[in-house]
Every structure is written in C-alpha cells, then in structure tokens.
C-alpha cells in the first residue's frame, strides 16, 4: 500500500486509490507539511486536498513529459470542442 506522501509536486501520475476502482490521472500541484493539493482529471478537473497519509492502492505510472503533452493535447481538444458546441446552441 502506498500513500500520497510518495508523490512529487509538479508530476502527473496514474493511480488507483482503492481496489476495483478505475485509474485516475492526478497532478500534484503543491504540498504542505501534512497534505497535498491535487488536480484530479476526469470529465472535469477537480481540485482537492489529500492527507499525505491517505492510502493509494497502486501508483501505476509516473507520466513522462511526452505522455503529458499527448494527454494535454487530447484533453484540451475535447474541452475546446465542448465549448464550441455550447456556443452554437
């Protein structure tokens, strides 16, 4: 079992917090003495605090810069297309 204390600020991770749950893409925005402030990406970005002691079932992968760029291009493209559809209505 892992915890959020192992994750570094500024990095993107694919994690599984609990058994039988889907993977989550997170970015560690900052950390304090006892907590981390993260962005959790799904349909929308969620900004949340986690205790450094909160458990993580599995840290699947630390994304490298190339993977992050590819993901950002897709994620931002989807958000841009969604905004265009709203304006047309």
Q: What is the pLDDT of residues 28-57, one digit of tens each?
A: 999 999 999 999 998 889 999 999 999 999
In a domain, 42, yes or no: yes
Structure tokens of 57?
């079932």
- What's the pLDDT at 24? 95
**Number of domains composing the chain:** 1
In this structure, is residue 72 part of a structural domain?
no
- Does any domain span residue 82? no
8 within a domain of the structure (yes/no): yes
pLDDT > 70? residue 84:
no
In a domain, 69, yes or no: no
pLDDT of res. 79: 56
Asked, for residue 75, whether it belongs to a domain, the answer is no
Residue ranges making up the domain that contains 32: 2-63
Q: What are phi and psi of 11, to 5 degrees?
A: -105, 150
Q: What is the pLDDT of residues 50-83, one digit of tens each?
A: 999 999 999 999 999 999 999 988 887 655 555 5
Please report whether residue 70 resides in a domain.
no
């Amino acid at each position: 079992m892992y915890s959020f204390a192992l994750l570094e600020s500024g990095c993107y991770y694919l994690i599984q917090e609990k058994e039988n749950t889907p993977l989550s893409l997170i970015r560690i925005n900052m950390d304090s003495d006892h907590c981390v402030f993260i962005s959790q990406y799904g349909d929308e970005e969620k900004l949340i605090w986690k205790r450094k002691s909160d458990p993580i079932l599995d840290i699947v992968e630390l994304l490298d810069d190339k993977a992050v760029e590819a993901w950002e291009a897709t994620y931002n493209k989807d958000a841009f297309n969604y905004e265009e559809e709203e304006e047309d209505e």
